[in-house]
Amino acid sequence: MGNQSIVTEFLLMGFADDHETQILHLVIFLFVYLTAVVGNLLIIMAVTLDHYLHNPMYFFLVHLSFLDLCFISTTVPKSIAISITQNRAVTFTGCAAQLFLIVTYTSGELFLLTAMAYDRYVAICHPLQYSMIMNWNACIQMASAAWISSLIHAVVETSLTFRVNFCGSNKIRQFFCDMPLLQKISCADSNVHTFFVFILGLFIVTFCIGVLFASYGYIFSTVLRITSVHARIKTFSTCTPHMTVFSLFVITAVFSYMIPKNLSTPIMDVVAACLYTLLPPVLNPIIYSLRNKDIQKSLWKISTRLKHLL
């Protein structure tokens, strides 16, 4: 961290210079942020207050909603503040902290989605042993492993990113401290670091996707042996929300970080970042609410109680 004496702050990119566009950006981002906060809080409340939902699948879902809530709160409020105050500066320490949190939450979400895939595999392929395999100790250990692994990954990525010198431009072409763009403005040769980050990220993504494919390979094999068409559809429906959420997260993240350099423009970088940071936290609770009758029933119970209280 010795390069603090060279660069003491970074300047994040605003979405526009004219007042009307800044107001539009503020309104859109505020609406998206409030939608994500309300949606994820409702999921957490529904699972917490309904004892019927106290099982491994919803245990992981609460962790996922909490991660989404923290993830979008790490990037969007600062962007909204820039539109209001016109102050685009972020301290060196603040930028490092933001990058650390972003890597923590994205890694944690990927690890949790992988754990949820294993949970669906055990529930469908080994239903008689489900309560024994996915007991509360196992669930807590899996969730703890996801959090610890994501924290270790974040420490490695953040320390490597901020070990290089920033002695030139301090302008980040993004509305948050993004790792690839920080590498671009460093004045040191970061090819080795970039390669290491790529290999580490590729290993994590490959491992998680491999577990997902293996789990759903066994799931599909088991479901196809079910003679009843209605039972097949019902079983597949329990996996649809998870598959949709996993695909949404991986596709947007890979698109954001693996975009070819010849296609990398300021506008494309911002669009990719919006897909990656805004869509999953907003759509995840909607996907689980629309495709899950248990969540819908629990939310209906909560709304009924609130009506009686009012």
| Tens-digit pLDDT profile for residues 174-205 | 888 888 778 777 776 666 777 787 788 888 88
Q: Is the pLDDT of residue 4 over 60?
A: no
Encoding tokens for residue 123? Answer: 């529930």
Residue 8 DSSP SS3? coil
**DSSP letters spanning 139-191:** HHHHHHHHHHHHHHHHHHHHHHHTTS---S--EESSSS--HHHHHHH-SS--H
Could you tell me which of 89, 92, 65, 66 has the C-alpha nearest to residue 78? 89
Could you tell me which of 185, 189, 190, 192 has the C-alpha nearest to residue 167? 185
Stretch among 60-64, 93-97, 231-235 having the lowest mean pLDDT: 231-235
- Widest pairwise Cα distance in the chain: 69
Encoding tokens for residue 27? Answer: 């309104």
CA gap 33, 280 in Å, rounded: 12
* Rounded mean pLDDT, 77-105: 89
pLDDT in tens, 118-166: 999 999 999 889 999 999 999 999 999 999 999 999 999 888 888 877 7
Its pTM stands at: 0.87
* Rounded mean pLDDT, 266-287: 82
CA gap 42, 128 in Å, rounded: 31
- The whole-number pLDDT of residue 2 equals 44
- Name 9's bridge partners: 91
- The whole-number pLDDT of residue 26 equals 87
Encoding tokens for residue 145? Answer: 């492993």
- Mean pLDDT (the chain) is 84
Encoding tokens for residue 174? Answer: 């993004």
When pLDDT is cut at 50, 70 and 90, the band that residue 264 belongs to is: low
Q: Is the pLDDT of residue 287 over 80?
A: yes
